Chain A
């Protein structure tokens, strides 16, 4: 199985900060990577798919990059609505796997 590892596990930041989250795969997954935002009690939200394609309706302050084994999610200017937990997911092969999550907290 492909292992997905995110860093950091927790990130403290202020409104307006640039935030970067890293996701590493234990073997190459080409560009078959998605990013999701989770908030307690709400439906998870797809942000990015195919490593860098922004899902329709997602603000342009979110961006994704990378290929192979190393990927990043960047929020260019953190907004109050962005405080949440973020997960990467590989869909290169079964079983589908997720990172352990990165919680973005208010500094």
Chain B
């Protein structure tokens, strides 16, 4: 069955970067887009972007496009999300999720999720 296993919790100082990994198993990694979603304390879920695991194409929310880098290693079936210039407001649980593409230009919904990675930004 499909599993997405994320890397462990991180504590970072303001201005630093964080890189979260998401290892996929149970399906053909290259056939899907990996999405990244975060949830800050007391806030709603917030979509950050996706990477096409096959060809490496990416798309980002305008809010994050200047600070987030999405990459993948097909040989390791692993996707990565790196967020730079961290500030306290970036303290959140970060999720990877497998995206299901419906048709044409429509965005994705998410059928399998990782367990989440808590990133704490504190001086």
A contacts, CB < 8 Å to B: 32, 34, 36, 41-46, 49-50, 55, 87, 89, 91-101
Hey, which chain B residues are within 8 Å of A87, CB to CB?
Answer: 44-45
In the complex, what distance in Å separates the CA atom of A45 from the CA atom of B98?
12
Structural contact, A43 and B113, CB atoms closer than 8 A: yes
In the complex, what distance in Å separates the CA atom of A45 from the CA atom of B115?
10
Chain B 88-123: CB-based contact to A (< 8 A → 1; otherwise 0):
000000010100101000111111111110000000
User: Which interface class (under 10, 10 to 19, 20 to 34, 35 or more) fits B?
Assistant: 20 to 34
Structural contact, A94 and B107, CB atoms closer than 8 A: yes
Given known A32-B102, A94-B59, contact A46–B109 (CB-CB < 8 A): yes
Would you mind naming 14 contact pairs between A and B with Cβ atoms under 8 Å apart?
Answer: A32-B102, A34-B109, A36-B45, A43-B95, A44-B113, A46-B110, A46-B113, A49-B109, A55-B111, A91-B108, A91-B109, A94-B107, A96-B47, A98-B46
In the complex, what distance in Å separates the CA atom of A34 from the CA atom of B112?
13
Structural contact, A98 and B44, CB atoms closer than 8 A: yes
Hey, which chain B residues are within 8 Å of A99, CB to CB?
Answer: 44
Any A CB within 8 A of the CB of B4: yes
Hey, which chain B residues are within 8 Å of A97, CB to CB?
Answer: 47
Hey, which chain A residues are within 8 Å of B46, CB to CB?
Answer: 98
Any A CB within 8 A of the CB of B62: yes
